[in-house]
């Protein structure tokens, strides 16, 4: 695409986001969810992708259950998109969140001892809620992000996600080296590890092997970093979150660490199927994904 086209797309998205900011936060989140569910998704292949993945993993699921989950998935994504571009209106709500899990105390102790920590989540609930909560509690929680192809919007995107915690590291080589330096100093690195990775290893997820990055396990073993699965579960009110920090994953070998992380996320997905982003081509090597 041309630079001019990218700039037009950037102007459109920025105008849309600024326009949405005129609506009070809580109403804005609800409207965004409904708009994604009722307007945007039907115009794309999002619903079909969710259906295909659900059929792959749950072949015996009836069509009504599949449709209900699909609506929830798309609605959650619309809410998440709005929340993550709402800046302080989103982060200021972090003091309303609840937290559970043995990982919180493990994190606190690791910070005292300057032990590196990986906080690993997936595209589930709102993963940024974890960073917002821990930042509010005084922790320095770095993040890893995939740069957008649209350089104009990427600058806005990075500036916005920094509000939930900093520093940020891109997935490119220079960013990865900076992230490792931060980790070695006893830093906290948060990232998502649930997308298809063509250069990854076959690791089972929801009963089906799929290509998965094992880098977290490799680095954690090398630098003796805690690996804590973490989640921001959307509550029934649709606006607040329960933060979950599970017990650290044992540092066995990189593939087993990755498999344990997948099992952790599986448990969340099975309990809250509408909160995971089934739109992803997670099983790209198979017809369903």
Q: Which domain holds residue 35?
A: 3-275
Domain count, the chain: 1
Residues in a beta bridge with 202 = 211
Residue 284 lies in a domain: no
For the chain, 289 residues long, give each residue's pLDDT as a single digit of tens. Answer: 578 877 887 787 778 778 888 999 999 999 999 999 999 999 999 999 999 999 999 999 999 999 999 999 999 999 999 998 888 899 999 999 999 999 999 999 999 999 999 999 999 999 999 999 999 999 999 989 887 777 777 777 777 777 666 788 888 899 999 999 999 999 999 999 999 999 999 999 999 999 999 999 999 999 999 999 999 999 999 999 999 999 999 999 999 999 999 999 999 999 999 999 999 999 987 755 5
CATH number for position 257? 3.40.1130
pTM of the predicted structure, to 2 decimals:
0.91
Residue 285 lies in a domain: no
Residue 37 lies in a domain: yes
Buried b (16+ CB within 10 A) or exposed e, 248-279: bbebeebeebbbbbbebbbebbeebbbbbbbb
Centre a 10 Å sphere on the Cβ of residue 116 and count the other Cβ atoms it contains. 22
The sign one gets for the Cα dihedral 152, 157, 183, 199 is negative
Residue 289 lies in a domain: no
CB 144 within 8 A of CB 134: no
């Amino acid at each position: 695409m041309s630079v001019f086209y990218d700039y037009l797309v950037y102007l459109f998205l920025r105008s849309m986001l600024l326009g949405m900011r005129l609506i009070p936060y809580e109403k804005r989140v609800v409207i965004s969810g409904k708009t994604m569910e009722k307007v945007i998704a039907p115009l794309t292949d999002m619903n079909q992708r969710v259906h295909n993945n659900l059929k792959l993993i749950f072949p015996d699921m009836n069509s009504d259950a599949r449709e209900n989950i699909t609506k929830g998935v798309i609605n959650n994504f619309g809410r998440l998109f709005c929340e993550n571009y709402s800046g302080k209106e989103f982060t200021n709500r972090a003091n309303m969140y609840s937290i559970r899990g043995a990982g919180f105390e493990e994190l606190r102790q690791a910070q005292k001892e300057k032990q590196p920590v990986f906080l690993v989540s997936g595209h589930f609930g709102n993963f940024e809620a974890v960073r917002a909560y821990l930042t509010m509690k005084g922790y320095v929680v770095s993040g890893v992000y995939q740069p957008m192809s649209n350089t104009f919007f990427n600058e806005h995107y990075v500036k916005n996600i920094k509000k939930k915690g900093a520093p940020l590291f891109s997935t490119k080589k220079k960013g990865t080296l900076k992230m490792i330096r931060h980790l070695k100093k006893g830093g906290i690195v948060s990232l998502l590890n649930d997308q298809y990775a063509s250069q990854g290893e076959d690791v089972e997820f929801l009963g089906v092997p799929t290509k998965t990055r094992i880098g977290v396990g490799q680095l954690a073993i090398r630098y003796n970093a805690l690996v804590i699965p973490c989640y921001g579960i959307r509550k029934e009110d649709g606006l607040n979150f329960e933060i979950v920090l599970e017990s650290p994953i044992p540092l066995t070998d990189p593939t087993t660490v990755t498999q344990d992380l997948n099992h952790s996320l599986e448990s969340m997905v099975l309990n809250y199927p509408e909160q995971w982003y089934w739109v992803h081509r997670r099983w790209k090597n198979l017809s369903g994904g």
